């Protein structure tokens, strides 16, 4: 057991932590940084795990955010395979799982989220999988091989949010027979409206996956492992394994015995600072104050995690940075890239710019709040208008009286 002191302690091995380290080093070239990451891998990009990595088109080495010598060259003490088990904010110290105690001047929490458990009878059977880490993706590779070896080639994905849709499409693209269980009428219920959802459903089906709409998985059954999924309409689906993609939750264990304020995520101000002095939080585990919507918002996307990590790094190193960006993410569905700006939780009704009933993928769904102001834009194709979509959300553009112009793809977006 050792005791040491660092100027900067970063907890978590994802893009928020590595973005923070990078930003610190732009302002402070020398003071020690320790980055503690419980996974064996150094910080890496998770996005390909449900896409090209799952389809074996991307190698593991291509996922890492920074090459190993970057950490040493930047005087960053990278501790992979190590976990922070406790924060003692009163003494400005954390404990590691080997008993080491490390005192800090400033602390970043970038601990991500955990997959939400499926919570069904049979949900603990061993071939029920979640997808968060490289190890999880490798377990899925193994499950695919076993399913192939017995000649079944079949699996079931529960949940049709961003992750479930990506996984279902990727598994179908590698030749698996996939049943996607979708509780709502269309996929992405928290993000997209009915017309965009209909377009996405057609794209998912074009990969070969079957969609079960408006039904819930109620039970996983089998003899020592999952063999069937029972649905709320009484249908039974044979499956060699199940991927549960039903949401994510923060791990509160590290927050216990601290005064750090958290609801469904750790609450931080525009500078990424928690309510406890010298403790910051970034990425998926945090909800940052967003001046565009006048609220704390959690966003579990790559760009946001990197950006909020960088904001924390700048402030931790004595600079000044505030969050004032439009949340943006991309997702892939087979050969289609979808861009989303803003927040679907504030959408009351939707204006369709272009025709979502065509399968050519060239339209935008403009999500409008009850007061007429734009809250979210989903763009499928239409790359030439992307910066305008971002600005419409940034300015919370008021569409009142301009709805027809917004809807007409042949006319410019209103200024
Ligand atoms: C399969 C998949 C596909 C995705 N695809 C997309 C996409 O297409 N587009 C997009 O925008 N976003 C995507 N995302 C989301 C994106 O990857 C996340 O928003 C991003 O990784 C969040 O980064 P983070 O650093 O906040 O957290 P994470 O990447 O979750 O990293 C947190 C790390 O901290 C570690 N940790 C937790 N507690 C401790 C502790 N006590 N001590 C030490 N380490 C700890 C965790 O084990 C984890 O390794 C995807 C996510 C997944 C899982």
Name which CATH class applies to 116-244.
Answer: alpha beta
Contact 79 CB / ligand 1 (< 6 Å) = no
End-to-end Cα spacing for the chain:
62
19, 20, 21, 37, best to mutate for ligand 1 pocket (most atoms within 8 Å of CB):
37
Name which CATH class applies to 3-113+250-316.
Answer: alpha beta
Sign, CA torsion 101/107/112/116: positive
What's the confidence (pLDDT) of residue 226?
96
- Tell me: pLDDT of 333 over 90: no
- Tell me: pLDDT of 65 over 80: no
- Range with the lowest mean pLDDT among 60-74, 304-318, 383-397? 60-74
Q: Does the fold of domain 116-244 match that of domain 3-113+250-316?
A: yes
- Tell me: pLDDT of 298 over 90: yes
For residue 151, count other CB atoms closer than 10 A to its CB.
Answer: 7
* 415: confidence class by pLDDT, cuts 50, 70, 90: confident
* 1: confidence class by pLDDT, cuts 50, 70, 90: confident
**How far is ligand 1, taken at its centre, from the CA of residue 359, in Å?**
32
- Tell me: pLDDT of 204 over 90: yes
Tokens for 351?
């204006």
Contact 283 CB / ligand 1 (< 6 Å) = yes
Q: Which CATH number among 3.40.50.300, 3.30.390.30, 3.60.20.10, 3.20.20.60 corresponds to the domain 335-407?
A: 3.30.390.30
Q: What percent of the chain has pLDDT over 90?
A: 91
What does the domain layout of the chain look like in residue ranges? 3-113+250-316, 116-244, 335-407
Give the ranges where 3-155 is alpha helix by DSSP (H).
15-27, 68-73, 134-149
CA atoms within 13 A on the CB side of 251: 15
- What does the pLDDT average to over 205-209? 95
Mean pLDDT rounded to a whole number for the chain: 95
What's the confidence (pLDDT) of residue 194?
95
What's the confidence (pLDDT) of residue 64?
87
Question: Listing from the earlier edge strand, what are the strands of the sheet with 177-182?
Answer: 128-129, 242-244, 154-158, 177-182, 210-213
CA atoms within 13 A on the CB side of 121: 8
Contact 347 CB / ligand 1 (< 6 Å) = no
- Tell me: pLDDT of 59 over 80: yes
More confident residue, 257 or 35: 35
| 348-398 pLDDT tens trace | 999 999 999 998 899 999 999 999 999 999 999 888 889 999 999 999 999
What's the confidence (pLDDT) of residue 68?
81
- Tell me: pLDDT of 44 over 80: yes
Tokens for 134?
């490289």
């Amino acid at each position: 057991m050792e005791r040491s002191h660092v100027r900067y302690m970063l907890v978590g091995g994802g893009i928020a932590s590595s973005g923070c380290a990078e930003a610190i080093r732009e302002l402070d070239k020398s003071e020690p940084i320790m980055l503690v990451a419980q996974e064996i891998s150094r910080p890496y990009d998770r996005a390909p795990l449900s896409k090209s990595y799952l389809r074996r088109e991307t190698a593991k080495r291509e996922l890492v955010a920074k090459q190993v010598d970057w950490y040493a060259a930047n005087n960053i003490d990278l501790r992979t395979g190590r976990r922070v088990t406790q924060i003692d904010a009163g003494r400005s110290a954390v404990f590691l799982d080997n008993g080491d105690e490390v005192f800090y001047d400033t602390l970043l929490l970038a601990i991500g989220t955990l997959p939400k458990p499926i919570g069904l009878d049979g949900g603990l059977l061993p071939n029920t999988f979640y997808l968060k880490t490289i190890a999880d993706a490798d377990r899925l590779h193994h499950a695919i091989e076993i399913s192939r070896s017995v000649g079944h080639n079949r699996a079931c994905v529960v949940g049709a949010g961003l992750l479930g849709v990506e996984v279902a499409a990727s598994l179908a693209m590698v030749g698996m027979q996939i049943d996607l269980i979708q509780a709502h009428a269309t996929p992405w219920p928290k993000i997209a409206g009915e017309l965009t959802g209909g377009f996405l459903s057609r794209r998912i089906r074009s990969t070969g996956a079957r969609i079960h709409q408006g039904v819930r998985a109620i039970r996983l059954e089998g003899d020592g492992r999952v063999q069937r999924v029972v649905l709320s309409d009484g249908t039974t689906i044979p499956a060699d394994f199940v991927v549960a993609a039903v949401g994510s939750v923060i791990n509160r264990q590290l927050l216990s015995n601290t005064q750090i304020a958290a609801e469904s995520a750790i609450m931080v101000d525009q500078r990424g600072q928690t309510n406890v002095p010298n403790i910051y939080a970034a990425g998926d585990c945090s909800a940052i104050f967003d001046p565009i919507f006048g609220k704390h918002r959690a966003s579990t996307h790559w760009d946001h995690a990197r950006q909020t990590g960088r904001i924390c790094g700048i402030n931790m190193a004595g600079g000044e940075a505030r969050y004032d960006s439009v949340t943006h993410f991309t997702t892939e569905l087979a050969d289609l890239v979808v861009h989303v700006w803003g927040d679907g939780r504030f959408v009351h009704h939707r204006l369709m710019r272009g025709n979502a009933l065509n399968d050519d993928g060239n339209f935008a769904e403009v999500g409008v709040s009850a007061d007429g102001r734009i809250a979210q834009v989903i763009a499928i194709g239409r790359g030439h208008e992307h910066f305008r979509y971002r600005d419409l959300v940034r300015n919370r553009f008021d569409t009142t009286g301009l709805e027809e112009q917004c809807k007409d793809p042949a006319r410019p977006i209103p200024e």
